[in-house]
Structure 1
């Protein structure tokens, strides 16, 4: 058996649980550091006297850094290993989020946010790629979706922190808290293994053996590494994404991710302000951020199990439709609890949907192009995250009724739904793996 097959067929062990925990924690602080800006916009506007357009531009500049980070660290992960990139990007977003809290003006603040954005962009695709290599195939989609719930937990913490600190202590301490991951880095270095793909390419078989023996003692002696020669002859992973069987699907994944990131960053950046405009106070508006993240977590955990039975496309296309409808309705709601319910569903249909979309991409492509697929999809999606904060800022300057702002955001969900309709399940790696397993079973039974 080769190492890739070993990890795909392994049972869920304590090694996996600890790895999931550490990656969850990293994404939790990533979510905190990203979303805290949206929670502090009303206070920053008052403190520095900046307009909605400038506030939106700061959010867009940050996501430009995020897009660059996704591309840059996606390319260098193959050379230096995903573990090193995950640690480096965590250091970047932690240090520069903390430094944002010391910024004397909007210009220095923006520079710190952009550099932190490099870290935001690099950490997500590398975490998704790393866990997809080690997670058992049976649980891969659920594990990736769960880890990305860490982002939503961090966003909830950002909202609660904003409610607790902003009124009495101002916005600066809220950013200083972003340095907490620096305490965990030494432990993460010890507990997180290097990427399997990196170890195979660099023939570090002894390090693979140590990980294998954590899951099944003595199993490393039975592994076959000779298959690696065939992998080395493959073409560039990026070019492989545009072969005849993958080209249309790759472009549709990119478009869907672009649409989802417009939804996510419109709401992450502007939801408190949009709800203030709709007549709610700052405390209630920050609570909507919590409900949004709760919807994302609950939706991810419930629907990722349903995906195992009915497939990715049916669940994700339905979610886009739910998101579009709820965004159209939220601006008309005058009842607080109905508004909470709609925001809860929107959370599942935006952030939760992206969690499961990451799992979809990871499950769709074979291991030799999986990292490139995830990195390029998220990198293209980041264009949506760049446009979204300024797009909503422009809407706000037009003084439209609140419902029209939400409808304008919800249009992205319609296009995302259309994009996923064109994803071709026929060439998916999970389908081929399932067919191979069925054929093997039938051969054994026949003999």
Structure 2
């Protein structure tokens, strides 16, 4: 009697270890999301109690400090990771944003609090792209895109956690306790340092091929293709200039403008949703419940966006998603029954977060292999200026006693992104059809 051979214990053990790596990165991104969303969750209380004498325009500036720090962290992440390794960078990022939250917790004024939020943003911005690279290296065979989508759910799970932390702690203990909770990930840093292996791509780039092969065999994952050489500054500028040659500059600017509006919308809503909902007449507890529902929608959206894009095309899905987001955000300016409002908030979360992801997917699919990293990176970088502008814009509107225009302004940003990505999808870039290699879902914030 014959039977098929059972999986080898080594392969099974390696598979479990690979999931351990993904799990550790998921927890790191969960803490990233908690730290990112906690400011928006405590902001209604800070404004209502006049903490630090905080005004709405100052609150908007503080929100922008964190997103500016994220811009710096994201831009520096690649260079730093190439020098010290992705594992060490992840540990450093968790340490930085945890300690920065401690600085916010002990702050005695707006200036110190602002420094804390800026430093937290640096850690937050550096962690996410590094974690994505790590799980790409160690994802089970053929599961890269699914695992990246799963990783991004952790960011929204952190947003849900931030709302509950604020609801449970602000009234009985005070707002500082919420930021002390955000210091707790510091205890997770030694766990990362001990259990997380180094990136396979980093080991190959450093010529540590034998070590990379041993890790790939142990974790039962495919060894990434070794980089043939590190591009110099001249190569990077050449790749960037390629995006503007001929008629490509129109396509490139359309992507950048769509990304600017998309991240303005994402971070503007993430910062001001509880405050704007409270301005619409909802109690603080209800306003924080909207944060939970919004991020639940974000989790669902990340899980379904890739499948929808595979079937209907990423550019089309991005345009439709932004249109639905704009409609949902605008409806939030209308006081509706609680059940209807919850449904609108949930659907807005579904479409908003994955609409921006589809911009990156569109750029990735429509770029040649030689210029893909440059195209996606610069589209994300230009979008991050929108991430800085969004929280500031909300604060300015509230300071001018135009809080009722907040949702309308964010809805208009969604409409603009819909228009820009829609026009871009109608154009046929010269690179189309020249690169047929399969694409995975590109996920970044």
Q: Same fold (TM over 0.5)?
A: yes
CA separation of 1:175/1:356 partners in 2, compared to 1, >3 Å: closer, same or farther? Answer: farther
Once residues 313 and 402 of structure 2 are traced to their aligned partners in structure 1, the CA distance between those partners, rounded to angstroms, is: 39
* Matching of residues 336-351 of structure 1 within 5 Å: 336-351=338-353
Give yes or no for contact 1:86–1:127 (8 Å, CA) kept in 2: yes
Residue number in structure 1 paired with 2:88? 84
Residue number in structure 1 paired with 2:175? 171
Once residues 136 and 45 of structure 2 are traced to their aligned partners in structure 1, the CA distance between those partners, rounded to angstroms, is: 40
Give yes or no for contact 1:28–1:150 (8 Å, CA) kept in 2: yes
CA separation of 1:13/1:229 partners in 2, compared to 1, >3 Å: closer, same or farther? Answer: same
Once residues 54 and 64 of structure 1 are traced to their aligned partners in structure 2, the CA distance between those partners, rounded to angstroms, is: 15
The alignment status of 1:68 with 2:68, answered yes or no, reads no
Structure 1 residue ranges without an equivalent (≥5): 1-11, 436-447
Give yes or no for contact 2:315–2:358 (8 Å, CA) kept in 1: no
The alignment status of 1:282 with 2:281, answered yes or no, reads no
SS in 2 for 1:309: helix
- Give the Å deviation of 1:354: 3.7
> Is 46-55 or 234-243 further displaced after alignment?
234-243
- Give the Å deviation of 1:194: 3.1
> Is 326-335 or 192-201 further displaced after alignment?
192-201
The alignment status of 1:243 with 2:245, answered yes or no, reads no
- Give the Å deviation of 1:342: 0.9
> Is 140-149 or 250-259 further displaced after alignment?
250-259
CA separation of 1:356/1:195 partners in 2, compared to 1, >3 Å: closer, same or farther? Answer: farther
- Give the Å deviation of 1:388: 1.1
- Give the Å deviation of 1:277: 0.9
Residue number in structure 2 paired with 1:307? 309
Residue number in structure 2 paired with 1:386? 388
Q: Give TM-score, length-normalised by structure 2.
A: 0.83
Residue number in structure 1 paired with 2:329? 327
Q: Give TM-score, length-normalised by structure 1.
A: 0.83
SS in 2 for 1:236: helix
Residue number in structure 1 paired with 2:6? none
SS in 2 for 1:350: helix
> Is 166-175 or 331-340 further displaced after alignment?
331-340
Give yes or no for contact 2:239–2:374 (8 Å, CA) kept in 1: no
Residue number in structure 1 paired with 2:10? none
Q: Could you report, residue by residue, the CA deviation over 1:216-250 in whole angstroms, capped at 9, with x for unpaired residues?
A: 49x88xx996xx54777996345424425876555
CA separation of 1:431/1:339 partners in 2, compared to 1, >3 Å: closer, same or farther? Answer: farther
Give yes or no for contact 2:19–2:139 (8 Å, CA) kept in 1: no
- Give the Å deviation of 1:339: 0.9
Give yes or no for contact 2:330–2:408 (8 Å, CA) kept in 1: yes
- Give the Å deviation of 1:320: 0.8
Once residues 123 and 315 of structure 2 are traced to their aligned partners in structure 1, the CA distance between those partners, rounded to angstroms, is: 30
SS in 2 for 1:332: coil
- Give the Å deviation of 1:356: 5.3
Once residues 358 and 39 of structure 2 are traced to their aligned partners in structure 1, the CA distance between those partners, rounded to angstroms, is: 25
The alignment status of 1:143 with 2:142, answered yes or no, reads no
SS in 2 for 1:124: helix
Give yes or no for contact 1:129–1:371 (8 Å, CA) kept in 2: no
Give yes or no for contact 1:142–1:305 (8 Å, CA) kept in 2: no
CA separation of 1:97/1:355 partners in 2, compared to 1, >3 Å: closer, same or farther? Answer: farther
Residue number in structure 1 paired with 2:123? 119
Once residues 192 and 55 of structure 2 are traced to their aligned partners in structure 1, the CA distance between those partners, rounded to angstroms, is: 40
Q: Could you report, residue by residue, the CA deviation over 1:18-52 in whole angstroms, capped at 9, with x for unpaired residues?
A: 22212211111111111111111122232222111
Higher helix share: 1
Q: How many residues align?
A: 418
Once residues 214 and 429 of structure 1 are traced to their aligned partners in structure 2, the CA distance between those partners, rounded to angstroms, is: 38
Once residues 212 and 154 of structure 1 are traced to their aligned partners in structure 2, the CA distance between those partners, rounded to angstroms, is: 30
The alignment status of 1:208 with 2:198, answered yes or no, reads no
CA separation of 1:383/1:129 partners in 2, compared to 1, >3 Å: closer, same or farther? Answer: same
Give yes or no for contact 1:266–1:389 (8 Å, CA) kept in 2: yes
SS in 2 for 1:280: coil
Aligned equivalent of 2:63, options 50, 59, 73: 59
- Give the Å deviation of 1:160: 0.7
Once residues 351 and 174 of structure 1 are traced to their aligned partners in structure 2, the CA distance between those partners, rounded to angstroms, is: 25
Once residues 199 and 374 of structure 2 are traced to their aligned partners in structure 1, the CA distance between those partners, rounded to angstroms, is: 14
Q: Could you report, residue by residue, the CA deviation over 1:269-293 in whole angstroms, capped at 9, with x for unpaired residues?
A: 1111111111111110111111110
The alignment status of 1:261 with 2:260, answered yes or no, reads no
> Is 232-241 or 334-343 further displaced after alignment?
232-241
CA separation of 1:122/1:231 partners in 2, compared to 1, >3 Å: closer, same or farther? Answer: closer
CA separation of 1:157/1:293 partners in 2, compared to 1, >3 Å: closer, same or farther? Answer: same
Residue number in structure 2 paired with 1:417? 418
CA separation of 1:131/1:243 partners in 2, compared to 1, >3 Å: closer, same or farther? Answer: farther
Aligned equivalent of 1:24, options 23, 26, 33: 26
Structure 2 residue ranges without an equivalent (≥5): 1-13, 440-445
CA RMSD of superposed structures (Å): 3.2
Q: Could you report, residue by residue, the CA deviation over 1:337-396 in whole angstroms, capped at 9, with x for unpaired residues?
A: 111111111111222334555566667667776665554443322211211112111222
- Give the Å deviation of 1:412: 1.2
